[in-house]
Amino acid sequence: MTERKSCSLKEYSRAAKDRIKKGFWEDCQKGYDRSLSKAKEQGVNESKAGRYFKSKVEGQIAGEKEDDFYLKVKRLILTEGEVSDAIGRLTDKPYYDTLTYEEKQRYTLSLSERYLRALERFRKECEFDDISG
């Protein structure tokens, strides 16, 4: 989970004003238009490309950073491909060894869910990487 810093309305307003001053929205519109035209040229679903681009912009505004787990999954996929023992490779062995049987089951299930979300995100990024770039 990502922690969000508590901000006041004044701080949100200041950040929005800075985005306007720096041309953030004009750049977003240009990037969005480029992405849609590239998607159209390459035969990619334009609405999916638009939703992907929108989610990337929302992440930029929220100040989201790449989380460590996703980066581990991405590195694993890029170096080894989709392997059958991904959950085992991503398991924190010293921590896992301290858990009870039930806790190990919950940990493995949680890790599996996180891996599937990261894998889905990786696939989306690959699909739209050359379009949004």
Ordered DSSP codes for 41-100: HHT--HHHHHHHHHHHHHHHHHT----HHHHHHHHHHHHH-S-TTHHHHHS-HHHHHTS-
Place of tokens 């992907």: 52
Please tell me the predicted confidence (pLDDT) of residue 35.
75
- The verdict on 95 and 42 lying in the same domain is no
Q: Is 80 among the domain residues?
A: yes
Please tell me the predicted confidence (pLDDT) of residue 3.
45
- The verdict on 32 and 89 lying in the same domain is no
Please tell me the predicted confidence (pLDDT) of residue 2.
41
More confident position, 129 or 123: 123
- The verdict on 71 and 59 lying in the same domain is no
- The verdict on 60 and 71 lying in the same domain is no
Q: What is the CA radius of gyration of the chain?
A: 19
Q: Is 2 among the domain residues?
A: no
User: What integer is the mean pLDDT of 105-124?
Assistant: 91
Instruction: Centre a 10 Å sphere on the Cβ of residue 73 and count the other Cβ atoms it contains.
Output: 22
Q: pLDDT class for 39, splitting at 50, 70, 90?
A: confident
User: What integer is the mean pLDDT of 102-111?
Assistant: 93
More confident position, 90 or 26: 90
Task: Quote the number of domains for the chain.
Answer: 2
Please tell me the predicted confidence (pLDDT) of residue 18.
84
- The verdict on 14 and 47 lying in the same domain is yes
Predicted TM-score (pTM) of the model is 0.56
| Average model confidence (pLDDT) across the chain | 81
**Type of residue found at 72:** K
> Would you state the torsion angle of the CA atoms of residues 24, 30, 31, 34, taken in this order, to the nearest 10 degrees?
180
Least confident of 20-29, 36-45, 78-87: 36-45
pLDDT tens-digit map of 5-30: 567 888 888 888 888 888 888 888 88
- The verdict on 25 and 37 lying in the same domain is yes
Q: Domain residues for 117?
A: 66-133
More confident position, 52 or 92: 92
